[in-house]
Amino acid sequence: MAAYTLEIIDHLAVLTLVSSEKRNLLTPASAVEIASAVEGLLDNSAVKALAVTGQAGAFCSGADLSVLQQASHGDGTELQQIYSAFTAVAQSPLFTIALVNGPALGAGMNLAMACDIRLASPEAWFESRFFNLAIHPGGGHTWLLPQLVGWQQAAAMIFSGERLSAQHALAQGFVKELVDEEMLVTRAKLLCAHLSTIPTALVRQTKTSMLQLRSCDRQDDAVAFEFRQQFQSLQTDAAQQHIAALLARIQKNT
């Protein structure tokens, strides 16, 4: 059975985890399949955004325990394969949205955090869970979580096992909005509607720039980097047409 379904709606790809009997648990095989699917979307020039969600009232309940058991015996190969799912999403040049429709635990939290934006149903909740197994958090958890919720809340979740409800996640800025589960995909489509007139190459380059500038320490370096990207984009037909249309509207209203 496939680990996911993939639907293309205009310029939005919706990837749904479908291992509902295991609350969309990540296995090495499913993680590799998901990573391959995410990377394969770049071959479709129409796709500008990716939404990730889960089936049957769960987002992702984490990693298969057998993988952790294997790693505890000295073989980390399958653990690295688990990482590949959320690493592929995190590194994607697409605009990414997590549609969190239920529990997101451990590696499932990593998958949600790998996305640019998180929308959650009121029934969603987030839990670190690594200390429940007496293991160090993995997959970039300790790097991303403090950035998204602040040091204090991240520490409470990691060290105290504090669960973050959808409502608390909204208050913390961890999720952008609360949306009823049946409306999550519709809301994702609305968030992507503006991209309909934006060239795919521009969307992907801008996301890539954001990722590259994460490691930039100086504002002048960022300005220099963006000048090159912006100047190049100004040479495209799309930019010239958009600018000309705006100038025409301004002149018409003066």
| The pLDDT of residue 113 | 98
| The pLDDT of residue 254 | 79
| pTM confidence score | 0.94
Phi, psi of 43 (to 5 degrees): -80, -15
Mean pLDDT computed over every residue of the chain: 95
> Domains of the chain: which residue ranges?
4-195, 197-252
CATH dotted code for 4-195 = 3.90.226.10
| The pLDDT of residue 59 | 96
| The pLDDT of residue 1 | 67
| The pLDDT of residue 50 | 98
Burial 178-213 (b: 16+ CB within 10 A, else e): bbebeebbebbbebbeebeebbbebbbebbebeeee
pLDDT per residue as tens digits for the range 88-111:
999 999 999 999 999 999 999 999
Averaged over successive runs of 10 residues, the pLDDT of the chain (254 residues) comes to 91 92 89 96 97 94 92 93 96 98 96 98 96 94 96 97 97 97 97 95 97 95 96 95 94 87
